[in-house]
Structure 1
Amino acid sequence: MGADKDDKRGWHGALTLFGHAMTSIDPTPPAPSPALPVPPAHVARPHSPAEDFYAIAIGCAFIAMGLMLLKQAKLVTGGMAGIALLLSYLIHLSPATLFLLINIPFFLFAGRAMGMAFGLKTLFANIAIMGVGLAMPYAMEIARISPFFAALFGGSIIGFGILAIARHGAGVGGVGVVALILQKSRGWNAGRTQMACDVLILLASLPILNAERFGLSVLSAAAINAVLFVNHRPGRYIGH
């Protein structure tokens, strides 16, 4: 009997201690630890109107010079530049003039799809390309040019011209505008979109180009698109 009483007292003491322990636990959850500070996101500073004007003017000069080099080598390329060159071999107008004329239908489309500011800048860029292209023969005369050099260098500077204009909120019309709209709305890479259109334009030049010049024309189109593919990816450039 004494042992039973001792056991009961032992169990009673243990239960009492357990009850005190449970009531001493704070049911309130601990406060969350302070979050680590997040560095502020980089906010790009928009380009000034003077910067836009200068960059677009330089881009137009690059495109006009590239057209002149390709014309001297009797080559074609992709995009509206390719259509302008192709037509220049059939009618007596400069590629720069044709570049503006065939882009007229796209100006309204560009203004509606990308905004009035984009449309006006695109119109200015095309007029500037025509103006520089018409003045270029009076500023320089090319007596001889390697077709390979014309294809590679001419295509590359046309690509950099398109890139400079696009970086500053404008386009060069035609395929370039469509490519920029698709990149903005759907995230499609502008270089890949333009390359698909270039294939069709180059195929249209087969009746007037021999095999060598057709191959070099393909090289010039590849040079344009390589510049755009590498440098105009969505999210890579933080400027405006």
Structure 2
Amino acid sequence: MSDVTFMEEKKKTEHRWFEDAMALLMGTSLVSFGVLFLKHAGLLTGGTAGLSLLLHYKYGIAFGIVFFLINLPFYYLAIRRMGLAFTIKTFTAVFLVSTFSSLHDKFITIQDLNPLYAAIFGGFIFGVGFIILFRHKASLGGFNILALYLQDRFSIKAGWLLMGVDITIMLISLSIVSTYQLILSIFCGLVLNLIIALNHRQDRYTV
């Protein structure tokens, strides 16, 4: 394939603004619905979402408010490392997840939710939501941005730092959730990451 043909093909597959807008709407809707599952089952996840759930369980503060505020300090790093477009999309995604997570309860009532079911399908929903956001060059901010910045600046491995953050959140949560809920939370995280690993590979896409 010639360079001209490749560039033409790449141009054809680039996402347009309304496609990005629809992706942000769909991706954040799914992620926030996954949060609903975890909240009703008393489960956790990693990153800023997990920290937000932890504070929600411990102090009764609305998840959406905590999640939005916790992410604010990371946008400066996002602009420096990822660029303005990525940062705007990420800010929008965080705002929408924060908003939608507070709205779902007004439209759906969950009276009985099996924790194992919540862990499995919560992981499915999270995974699909994240893939949609990643494919449109957006994220949910938080510790991922900090980890990438510290890796560039101080050669601290991002993977190890993120693992340490998640382990710390899980260990602190033992004072709030049961061991069974913690095990299911870890299982939910494994399901989520498996879906992302199997379905989001840069060598399969051109954008």
- What TM-score comes out, normalization by structure 1 length? 0.74
1:119 aligns with 2:87: yes
Deviation sequence 1:173-220 (CA, Å, 0-9, x none): 113435677999xxxxx9887555423321221221211111111111
Which has the larger share of helix?
2
Distance 1:164 1:195 in 2: 23
User: 2:114 pairs with 146, 161, 171, which one?
Assistant: 146
1:169 Cα deviation from its structure 2 partner: 1.4
Amino acid at match of 1:212: Y
Shift in CA distance, 223/176, structure 1 to aligned 2, threshold 3 Å? farther
For residue 32 of structure 2, what is the aligned residue in structure 1?
Answer: 64
Query: Counterpart of 2:155?
Result: none
Gapped regions of structure 1 (runs ≥ 5): 1-38, 185-189
> Number of residue pairs matched?
198
1:201 lines up with 2:163 in the alignment? no
Contact 2:77 2:146 (8 Å CA) reproduced: no
Match of 1:236 among 181, 186, 203: 203
Residues 142/191 of structure 1: CA separation in 2 closer, same or farther (3 Å cut): farther
Distance 1:58 1:117 in 2: 19
Equivalent residue number for residue 135 of structure 2: 167
- Which runs of 4 or more aligned residues in structure 1 lie more than 4 Å from their structure 2 counterparts after TM superposition? 178-184, 190-196
Distance, in Å, in 2 between the alignment partners of 1:51 and 1:149 is 32
| 1:90 aligned residue | 58
Match of 2:2 in 1: 40
Q: Per the alignment, do residues 121 and 183 of structure 1 end up closer, same or farther by CA in structure 2, a change over 3 Å counting? A: farther
Task: Identify if the C-alpha distance between structure 1 residues 192 and 148 changes in structure 2 by more than 3 Å, giving closer, same or farther.
Answer: farther
Report if aligned partners of 1:52, 1:168 keep a CA contact under 8 Å in 2. Answer: yes
Amino acid at match of 1:158: F
Q: Percent identity among equivalent residues?
A: 35
Higher relative contact order (CA 8 A, sep 6+): 2
Native 8 Å contact 2:58 2:176 kept in 1: no
Q: Does 1:105 align with 2:73?
A: yes
2: CA distance, partners of 1:40 / 1:206: 57
Task: Give the deviation of 1:67 after TM superposition.
Answer: 0.6
> 1:98: Cα distance to partner?
1.5
Question: Max radius of gyration: which structure?
Answer: 1
1:155 and 1:161, CA in 2 relative to 1: closer, same or farther beyond 3 A?
Answer: same
- The residue type paired with residue 119 of structure 2 is A
My pick for the range that moved more, 161-170 or 172-181, is 172-181
CA contact (8 A) 2:131 2:200 kept: yes
* Paired letter, 2:195: V
Q: Which amino acid aligns with 1:141?
A: T
